[in-house]
Every structure is written in C-alpha cells, then in structure tokens.
Amino acid sequence: MERSLLSLCQKPLVYKVIKMDKQKNILIIDDDADLIEAMKIILETKNYRIFTAYSPEEGFQMAKDVKPDLIILDVMFGSKERSLGFEYAVKMKLDKILAPIPILMSTAVNEAHSGFGFSPKTDGELLPVDDFINKPAQPDDLLKRIEKLLLQKISKWVNYPKKS
C-alpha cells in the first residue's frame, strides 16, 4: 500500500526533548601565557569554553565581542607591573554591555608582597569585582569560585558605582 507524502505529514510527530546545558564561556585576561594555559586546562575539564587575551585592551574588546559568562582578570600587566586590571575592572563596569558580567580578579600581589593583599572583605567596596583569587590558584579553589560566580549570573556591580 502506497502512502502519499501528504498522508505522512498529517501524522503527529514525536520529538524527544533533550535538556542541554549551555556551555559557559569564560574569558581569561592575563599577560602570563603559562598561567593562562594552566587555567585553561583546568577549566576545559569542566567543559567551559575558554577565550584568552594577553592585555586588558585586547580583553576589553574580546569581552564586547564574545560577551562571556565570566571574566578572570589579572591585576598587574606589563614589564613595569602596572595595575591596569583595576582600571579595566572599572572600565568594564561602566560599559552597559559588560557591566552584568561577573569578574574574578586574580592576583599574585598577596603572595609577592605579604601584608599588601586584596580580599572581598577589605577591598570589596572599592573595586568593582565579584571575587578575588590568589595566583597561582589551586584547581579546587579556582573551580569553586567560578561555579559560585556562574550561579550568581549577574555581577553585584551591574549598577556601578552602586553595588547591588
């Protein structure tokens, strides 16, 4: 018995719905290529899609293009170790497109200069970042902080200079 194409189209189709989690995009902005590679290896084991930039300027533009779910931003850049990370954290929070993206600030200052450190408790009201992590980050600590910020979804500094 032949069936016409029309009769086949009139039968209800059954679709199997598969819930797929959207792969989260993370942008790492740091001038240390080895550190970026180490973080990238850790994060890719959790199926995060990683984008990298080696300067704050490049990172700012990439953030606008990619619109990541999270930004990991270094504090110090360049041979003169300028604290451009602070400036770019503010610049990102003043940008309407980037303001909602949580920022995890990574720093070696806490290790290199004891007594001169950063923390959400002491600096959380001054710098528009959502959390700090010491470099080199321990894999478990890095993943824990990232997961927390990704669950948060929107930066507490979305309305910078006011904290939400």
φ, ψ at 89 (rounded to 5°): -60, -45
pLDDT at 57: 95
Taking only the tens place, the pLDDT of each residue in 28-54 is 999 999 999 999 999 999 999 999 999
Cβ–Cβ under 8 Å, residues 157 and 163: yes
Tokens read off for 137: 């980050």
CATH of the domain at 141: 3.40.50.2300
Which stretches in the chain have pLDDT values below 50? 1-2, 4-8, 13-19, 110-116, 123
In a domain, 2, yes or no: no
According to DSSP, residue 82 is labeled B
The string of DSSP codes covering 96-159 is TTTTTS-EEEEESHHHHSTT----HHHHTTTS--SEEEESSPPHHHHHHHHHHHHHH-S-TTTT
In a domain, 161, yes or no: no
pLDDT at 116: 47
pTM for the structure as a whole: 0.80
pLDDT at 135: 87
In a domain, 13, yes or no: no
pLDDT at 81: 67
